[in-house]
Amino acid sequence: MSSPMNDDAVPPPMPVAQGGDDIFPVVQAARCIGLGVPAACMNDVAANAALLQGYADLLNGFVLPDTCEPAGEYIP
């Protein structure tokens, strides 16, 4: 049985929406988790994914020293 994560899986078709190189990875990620992205929403979904990637890059850019203590357990 083939799944989206297998190397032998059929690649998704190129999206109909115009948007450049940022569209195809969005289609691949959506397909891996079983989502379909309508062509009318593709550019906005790609823009949101780029925004979230920017936030992830910002967080990954924080350098924490080895002496930094872990946060305590959260108790609401």
In this predicted structure, what is the pLDDT of residue 20? 57
pLDDT score of 22:
63
What is the full per-residue pLDDT of the chain (76 aa) written as tens digits?
A: 444 444 444 444 443 444 556 677 888 888 899 988 898 998 888 888 889 989 999 988 888 888 888 778 878 7
CB 24 within 8 A of CB 15: yes
Q: Give the pLDDT confidence score for residue 1 in this predicted structure.
A: 41
pLDDT reported for residue 9:
45
pLDDT for position 24: 77
Query: What's the gap between Cα 4 and its chain centre?
Result: 15
